[in-house]
Amino acid sequence: MALIDIKQAEAEEPDIVEPDDELLQNLKDYTAMAFALIWQRQAIFLSATLLTAFYFDPLNAFLFYVLILFFEVQDIVLARKVAQLKVHQRGAINLSLFWILVNTVLSSLAICIYAVSVAFSQETGGHFTPLFFLFAAALFAAMNNHQLVWALAIRLALYGMSFVVIVVRDLWVVRPPLTSELWLHFFTVIFVMYFLIDCSIVFLKLYRKNLAHLNKLHKEHERTKAAYKIKSQFVSTVSHELRTPLTSIKVSLDLLNSGALGPIPANMQSIVETAGKNSDRLSRLIDDVLDLQKLEAGEMTYRMETLNVQAFLTDAVEGNAGFADMHQVTLVPEFDEKPWLFVDADEMRLMQVVSNVLSNAVKFSNAGETVTVGCMQLDGRVRIYVQDRGKGIPQGSEDKVFGRFSQIDSSDRRQVGGTGLGMNISREIVEHFKGNLTYESAEGEGTTFFIDLPHAMMEGSASRAAE
């Protein structure tokens, strides 16, 4: 069934980007670049205005700058509209493209007319400043306007015509021989135009290559999400379907082991006890898998409240005392009743974390040893610690400790059972509470796990503590 769903999801997904989708992406990339480079453009325009105002005509320079600022404002307005467009708004997309191209034509014409007017006010052949301004404008367009081919083509065409007008006008007026520098200027302009077109093509190809790569990544991401969703649904369904019959089996085995249904024959007792332990283990595995699936799907629910840490740990020690007794291990609380420490957390989920850490400490302790449970205030945080005196954790094993379906001893002969999910889930829960779950260990000396949580200051702490 899951395979069919995946194939259906892949069949429904388009293999290519729709034209309107691609156009909208081009428009958004183009306007995003306009936003990103707005201050660079203003610096260029202001510099050109000041230079030409000082050396040529201040009035024309001022009028040029005002006109350019007007077109810049229009670009910003259009960019804001484009940012809000959706793929299905085909009319609005086409209209935005039209006005962007119109504004491109007008702003490019303003730059060209001003550059040509400055050139015409100079003597023949001395056009370094206006030609360089045109070159800078064309190079800027080649590098930053490649997202929208029509806008790039418009700018390069108008700037190119302005180049030609300036140098051809000199040739027309002077009519020099081919060996004149004016002809050198003309051929240099042709070379510069070729260079600018070549740069534009290079940047355009790079942009389209990156866009195709991003589209491919987007498709793979969508496929991965579809497969992940199906996997999560499958795990959740199977886990819930297993839980119901397993509950009946577990209850039946518990009744048998308790003797409520009568004595168990001696030759069957060990088998029934083993079945009971394995049903417990399978039940914990199902619970952990369901918790893991909820965490991955972001569906884990939390009921946050302010907890008295000392009172909470007292309940945790009492709740896990029976498990410790089974392993002949003693739980030793090690904390003062005052000063009261508080944390913001979900009591049930935090109890799940502490119980998991405690059970691990008990399982890895030898009979007759003690496990210490305590808390302290540390740099504005509350630290809960669980210390055992077992064999310790080898160095470099953190990935195994907090990994999924992994344990320090993963051999078939391991003495300690477990799902390999508990510590991973515990760390996720603690991090949701804006805390950290870490440990320190020395082989042969034991391990101490630390649960560090933000200290919560609350009004009426004394009355809360007294409850």
For 105, counting Cβ atoms within 10 Å of its Cβ (0-12 exposed, 13-18 middle, 19+ buried), the class is middle
Domain ranges of the chain: 2-225, 304-466
- Would you mind telling me the total number of residues written for the chain in this entry? 467
Q: Packing angle between helix 90-120 and helix 19-36, nearest 10 degrees?
A: 40
Dig out the tokens for 433 from the structure.
């509470």
The single-letter code of the amino acid at 229 is: K
Dig out the tokens for 222 from the structure.
């969508």
Beta-strand (E) ranges in 273-349?
304-308, 330-334, 342-346
The answer to whether 368 and 389 have CB atoms below 8 angstroms apart is: no
The correct answer on CATH 3.10.105.10 for the domain covering 304-466 is: no
Inter-CA distances, 257 with 247, 252, 273, Å: 15, 9, 7
Residue among 338, 375, 352 nearest 302 (CA): 352
Residue-level pLDDT, tens digit, the chain, 467 residues = 433 443 444 444 444 444 557 888 888 888 888 888 888 888 888 988 998 888 888 998 999 999 999 998 998 899 889 989 888 888 899 999 999 999 999 999 999 999 999 999 888 878 888 999 999 899 988 888 888 899 999 999 999 999 999 999 989 988 889 988 889 889 998 999 999 999 999 988 988 888 888 888 888 888 887 887 777 777 667 666 777 777 777 777 777 777 777 777 777 777 877 777 777 777 777 777 777 777 776 767 889 999 999 999 999 999 999 889 988 999 999 887 777 899 999 999 999 899 999 998 998 888 889 999 999 988 889 999 999 998 888 888 888 888 776 665 544 434 455 556 788 888 989 999 999 999 998 888 899 999 999 998 764 444 344 34
Q: Give me the residues paired with residue 453 across strands.
A: 382
Sign (positive or negative) of CA dihedral 70, 72, 75, 80: negative
Task: Give dist(CA 352, CA 165) in Å, integer.
Answer: 80
Give, in degrees to the nearest 5, the angle at Cα 250 between 248 and 253.
Answer: 110
The answer to whether 372 and 386 have CB atoms below 8 angstroms apart is: yes
Residue among 339, 350, 346, 351 nearest 310 (CA): 339
